[in-house]
Structure 1
Amino acid sequence: MIARWARDRGHRVAVLSRGYGGATRQRTLVVSDGTRVLAGPDQAGDEPCLMARRLEEVPVVVGRKRYDAGVKARKVFGSDFFVLDDGFQHHGLARDLNLLLLDATLPFGNGRLLPAGPLREPTSAVSRAHALILTRAEEGERAFKNAARLRREWAPRPVFLGRHVARRVVLPGGEKHAVPGILKGMRVAAFAGIGRPASFMRTLDACGAQTVLFESFRDHHEFRAREIRALLDRARALGAELVLTTEKDWIRLFHLSWARERIGYLRIRFEMSKEDDGFFEWLEAIVPPPGKAGR
């Protein structure tokens, strides 16, 4: 979202990622040059590959040290605007803007650090953020109540609301697309290996799908052929008309081409909530225009 905004504004943007789950031993790896995807999820990790597929005219570079990835992007692509993927805890690289994304339904979970809870850092780390973005605003009243509370607790930091919206149904094989409305009343089997699989099921429900089977896997799960065959068998036995997964999970089926011919995915886009549309005006006011960046 921010990479597209900066690109359209005229910045030479690059996305820098650690490449979690990728096996590359290179110091840096160019996943996309902005026109072509040059590395697969086995080397680069699933999330960098997802961004590479979605972002046009925006290179994606992975590196265990984000600084090295940034140097590579500047040298090869002339990048002057860097978006760090999952970079809030990456203290080794100075940045001009820190945005902290929190789940609107339960921003701090049970308030405990891993492994007792979901937090990577104490809540005091919020003080490093220039703004908070609450995701999953589509959950409704609870999201708006949490936003109001955080605005009181962490003033004067602005708190914005974002939501996940289903944009396209990509049918098995990955070539044909349809609008999410086709799912209304359709018997669907689904699976997801993401941080919060239940959110994917809620998105299917919002599309009107009749979910006859839903299976959850851990985030970044490496799917095995026997798991997918068993899932497809159960889907068929339950009369599923379509088997769907997330786009990130579909990418991870790269080694099972036969499975991608039988499984589609739901393309979901994160965007700012219509009820809270001041984010880009705020961003416009604090980010220097192209050619006038600070450091």
Structure 2
Amino acid sequence: MNLELRNRRALVTGSTQGIGFAIARGLAAEGAHVVVNGRKAESVEKTLARLRAEVPGAQVEGVAADASTAEGAQTLFSRVPSVDILVNNLGIFEPKSFFEITDADWMRFFEANVLSGVRFSRHYAPGMRERAWGRILFISSESGLQIPQEMIHYGMTKTAQLSVSRGLAIELAQTGVTVNAVLPGPTRTEGVQDFLASLARAQGVTVEQAEADFFKSARPTSLLRRFATPEEVANLAVYLCGAGASATTGAALRVDGGVVNSIS
């Protein structure tokens, strides 16, 4: 399928690794001009080198800025005035007992996972509407539907993203701009690999056993019963950015390995 993304300009926030990197690579492979973003200049440069090596002829550039802050957003806006595709991928997670989550933690998670996407959408959507074409994606999570006991603050932000995504889709109805949310399930990102390794050490088991135990105890409804790869998540995200997804908007699409025990 030709996604008709050649020379479309795309920004993927938080894209130096994990799902964000996989989406950036997928868009670059489809011919889009991709702007990658990370907090540190060194990681951004390494990401650009990796993309150019893995996608010959890739049209890529990078901006080092903390996209979770208003100041960082302004840095990106000044460097990248307009885009055709916005992927609000930036997000943080942290297992923590509810009674240990401070006010500062709640605010930090809300600003990084929710307000960042609000700021970027508010800035870039008007230009998309004027050009009568655009794609906005929020990378949410199945945790927005099934709140994880071990990180309620994270689940709260992922539910909020669904509200913002749906509301913005209504705001942009009949403009040629689609807005959707992607809900990954447990995904083997670098952060999750570190989490599994620390869990295995704490329990005195192998990483493989820690993964099996995780799905048995924490995500027993998983039908995949393994972590998805970032590329498996990116496949859906990249499709939603293409011309063929023009009738899909206001949707929350799951790539969760069947974790959510619902037919809707």
TM-score exceeds 0.5: no
Larger Rg: 1
Taking structure 1 as the reference length, the TM-score comes to: 0.35
Taking structure 2 as the reference length, the TM-score comes to: 0.37
Greater strand proportion = 1
Greater helix proportion = 2
